[in-house]
Structure 1
Amino acid sequence: MIKLSVVIITFNEEKNIERCLLSVKEVADEIIVLDSFSTDSTPLICQKYNVKFFQHAFDGHIQQKNRAITFATNAYILSLDADEELDETLIGSIKAAKANFEKEGYYLSRLTNYCGHWVKYCGWYPDKKLRLFDNRKGRWTGINPHDKYELFAGDKNAGRLKGDILHYSYYSVQDHYKQVEYFTNIASKAYFKNGKGAPLFKLVVNPIAKFIDHYFLHLGLLDGKTGFLISKISAYATYLKYKKLRNLYKQKTITN
């Protein structure tokens, strides 16, 4: 049976971290927490459990997740966010995978709780994530803040496990808007750095396309009021990202 390191990054996660830690106790041979100098009780909560706790200034989701893995003593990693937990079915699936780790990595489904509602549509479920992997076979990549783990050989030797990661994303609609502001700041800067264009039509067309995709094509309407809110705010986030990106190009033009 392989030994498994559970790796989590945190910043001010006192609402969530204990639930996450309790959910992995049956599958973890060690738990690594890399914290970005939380100012709440996150460090104190971690001290209550058998956690290897480290701190480093946050310089990007991708960078921090790759850094966190370097503290693990095992090659086999289960990567979770602090606002996630494993359901009972997934715990059993991970135990079975530990006994016979046939693949280089495994995709896990993620089910999101939005203000008390489990979101089954809007393109949010099953929301496959490669979170259980042999870290010698891949690396965290993507464009911040949207990180993803990629196997060097691609998905040809990846599997999928039964069960869900339960994701407690937003406790209020205000939380969602706050994260939109935060994520669009990061995304627009990452796009600007990579030279991604921001023509005016994207400011108009892309938000509309995002709403149609979430609410109609991915049946967000079946999630009722929650589906409408998610679709509307996702469209707004798309608009805001390109608006901020256009502003960055305007600032560059002015300074030049």
Structure 2
Amino acid sequence: MFALSVCVLTHNSERLLRQVLAPLAEIADELIVLDSGSTDSTFAICAEFGITPYSRPYTTHAEQMNVAISHASNDWVLCMDSDEIMDADSLQQIRELKAGTTPEMTQAFRISRYWYVLGQQVHAIYPVSSPDFPVRLFNRQQARFNDAPVDDKPTGFKTTRILGGHVRHDTFYSIHEVFTKLNGYTSRLIQYKEVKPSLGKAVLSSIGSFWKWYFRKGAWKDGKVGVVTAVYAMMYSFLKYFKAWYLADEKKRRNDTAAKQAK
């Protein structure tokens, strides 16, 4: 038997926060919220659950989650985002897991996650198919999130097991949010990871990405929302190379100017 700390990241999360926290409160021995500058009713909703959020300016998802984990009083942690809602089966699985023999600290647990875009369940959203099976429950003495700027994940465990039930990941609730996050993700990617600057690759890879995600990954089955997810994949691929190319060109121009002025 073990106690469980549940860690949730928030930022202007009022849209779904009550639906997210209510089931988590049923299984958490401790509920930790780390906020990154909310200006909506996120703090008021947390107060309804007796939670006083910690605050920290946003850097990367991985860093935020690791900071939230560091506040945990228990070694076993469940890490969730504020647009992910656990179903009754997954809650029951975790109750049974907590009540049984404490797992080896080297083991982690995955939960199937179904992705929703603009309120509709989809077959895929770059870079994953739906459902995917992220590790969400682990021993913090054994595992932490890696330092990937986007699409980070916990590492350090040796074995994993998939729990029953699923999480509804209700992301991208408006077209505006699709493109806002697209811009943020690609800017953060080239900030923290080296991307080879190439305008040609930006064009060619974007065409390939649309083909892959619309046809091979099955986005065509999702109607107009499938077009949105395929365009998202296309634009993600285009922007990461385009931004890298643009910034590299800007850096070259500044260096050339500095060299001329130094003569």
Give the gaps of 5 or more residues in structure 2: 256-263
**SS, match of residue 203 in structure 1:** helix
**SS, match of residue 116 in structure 2:** strand
Question: Which residue pairs with 2:141 in the alignment?
Answer: 136
Question: Which residue pairs with 2:110 in the alignment?
Answer: 107
Question: Which residue pairs with 1:119 in the alignment?
Answer: 122
**SS, match of residue 136 in structure 1:** coil
Question: Which residue pairs with 1:240 in the alignment?
Answer: 239
Question: Which residue pairs with 2:213 in the alignment?
Answer: 214
**SS, match of residue 66 in structure 1:** helix
- Equivalents in 2 of 1:247, 1:199: separation in Å? 9
Question: Which residue pairs with 1:50 in the alignment?
Answer: 50
Question: Which residue pairs with 1:151 in the alignment?
Answer: 156
Structure 1 residue 28 displacement after superposition: 0.7
Question: Which residue pairs with 1:14 in the alignment?
Answer: 14
Q: TM-score, normalised by structure 2?
A: 0.89
Return the match for 1:170 from 157, 169, 172: 172
**Which stretch shows the higher mean deviation, 18-27 or 195-204?**
195-204
Alignment of 1:22-61 (within 5 A): 22-61=22-61
- Equivalents in 2 of 1:35, 1:221: separation in Å? 36
- Equivalents in 1 of 2:123, 2:223: separation in Å? 11
Question: Which residue pairs with 1:72 in the alignment?
Answer: 72
Structure possessing the higher radius of gyration over alpha carbons: 2
Structure 1 residue 141 displacement after superposition: 0.9
Aligned positions, number: 250
2:90 is the counterpart of 1:90? yes
Contact kept, 8 Å, 1:31 with 1:50, in 2: the verdict is no
- Equivalents in 1 of 2:140, 2:98: separation in Å? 14
Structure 1 residue 249 displacement after superposition: 1.2
Question: Which residue pairs with 2:203 in the alignment?
Answer: 204
Structure 1 residue 255 displacement after superposition: 2.2
Going from structure 1 to structure 2, the CA distance change for 1:132 and 1:152 (only over 3 Å counts) comes to closer
The root-mean-square deviation of aligned C-alpha atoms, in Å, is 1.7
Letter in structure 2 aligned against 1:49: F
Deviations 1:38-61 (A, max 9, x none): 111111110110324211122221
Deviations 1:17-67 (A, max 9, x none): 221101212211110001112111111110110324211122221111111
- Equivalents in 2 of 1:217, 1:106: separation in Å? 29
- Equivalents in 2 of 1:219, 1:58: separation in Å? 34
Structure 1 residue 223 displacement after superposition: 1.7
Going from structure 1 to structure 2, the CA distance change for 1:239 and 1:47 (only over 3 Å counts) comes to same
Contact kept, 8 Å, 1:189 with 1:245, in 2: the verdict is no
Structure 1 residue 121 displacement after superposition: 4.2
Contact kept, 8 Å, 2:115 with 2:124, in 1: the verdict is no
**SS, match of residue 153 in structure 2:** strand
Letter in structure 2 aligned against 1:169: T
Contact kept, 8 Å, 1:114 with 1:170, in 2: the verdict is yes
Structure 1 residue 152 displacement after superposition: 4.6
Structure 1 residue 124 displacement after superposition: 3.0
Letter in structure 1 aligned against 2:218: L
- Equivalents in 2 of 1:83, 1:5: separation in Å? 18
- Equivalents in 2 of 1:54, 1:190: separation in Å? 25
Contact kept, 8 Å, 1:31 with 1:52, in 2: the verdict is no
Deviations 1:71-126 (A, max 9, x none): 11001011000111101111111112223343521111111221121113454311
Contact kept, 8 Å, 1:121 with 1:222, in 2: the verdict is no
Identity %: 30
